[in-house]
């Protein structure tokens, strides 16, 4: 889909159906996206825009979650233009797709380890060497970086108008990135 002049939703629907019938393909799509993320500096804006629409569709259809964004260096100072465009389109599409802010909160919660998994990981971390201590912080670092990106780029968006669904969803996403729970927000 990255080589098309305009985005063709056929690829998104095809990827969605493939994931429905072959669950292992979700991981394959994730690895393919990670390979594409490594090429952001050389990627043309059109390819990034087409690729992000595919990713947004897969995230909105619960095929992938925000963990797929881990390899992207989300720091406003030295992000390539393609990465900025990519993330801006991704989050704009997500915020435009939902009327209910709790759906956005759920999107940011998906892929989050369960309490039991975290307890098991803590026990394993005590048994492992000190090198593995920061392995569990990847998701929190990702959420923090996304929060900074949202505040730096999307708060200035023309779609961010008072009482708009976009604004409510943006605030919910920022809050979801900054805290473990968003239940008290609504």
Mean pLDDT of the chain: 77
Between CA 98 and CA 118 the distance in angstroms is: 30
CA-wise closest residue to 91 among 19, 3, 181, 155 = 155
CA–CA separation, 105 vs 183, rounded Å? 9
- Quick one: tokens of 91? 């989050």
Q: Residue 185 — pLDDT band, cuts 50, 70, 90?
A: very low
| Tokens (6 digits) for 176 | 């979801």
User: What pLDDT is attached to residue 130?
Assistant: 44
CA 145/CA 179 separation, integer angstroms: 13
Contact 86/95 with Cβ under 8 angstroms? no
Instruction: Write out pLDDT tens, residues 71-93.
Output: 888 876 777 777 888 888 899 99
pLDDT for res 137: 63
8 Å CB contact between 8 and 46: no
* Cα–Cα distance, 74 to 84 (Å, whole number): 9
pLDDT exceeds cutoff 60 at 33: yes
Give the number of other Cβ atoms within 10 Å of residue 60's Cβ: 17
């Amino acid at each position: 889909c990255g080589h098309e002049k305009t985005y063709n939703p056929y690829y998104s629907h095809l990827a969605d159906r493939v994931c429905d019938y072959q669950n292992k393909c979700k991981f394959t799509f994730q690895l393919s996206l990670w390979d594409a993320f490594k090429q952001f500096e050389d990627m043309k804006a059109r390819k990034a825009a087409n690729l992000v629409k595919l990713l947004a569709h897969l995230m909105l259809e619960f095929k992938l979650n925000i963990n797929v964004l881990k390899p992207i260096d989300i720091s406003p100072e030295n992000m390539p233009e393609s990465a900025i465009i990519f993330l801006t389109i991704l989050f704009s599409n997500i915020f435009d797709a939902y009327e209910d802010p709790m759906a956005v909160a759920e999107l940011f919660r998906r892929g989050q380890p369960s309490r039991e998994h975290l307890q098991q990981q803590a026990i394993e971390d005590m048994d492992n060497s000190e090198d593995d201590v920061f392995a569990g912080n990847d998701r929190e670092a990702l959420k923090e970086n996304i929060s900074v990106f949202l505040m730096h780029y999307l708060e200035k968006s023309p779609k961010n108008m008072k009482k708009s669904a976009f604004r409510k969803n943006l605030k919910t996403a920022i809050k979801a990135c900054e805290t473990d729970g968003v239940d008290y927000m609504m």
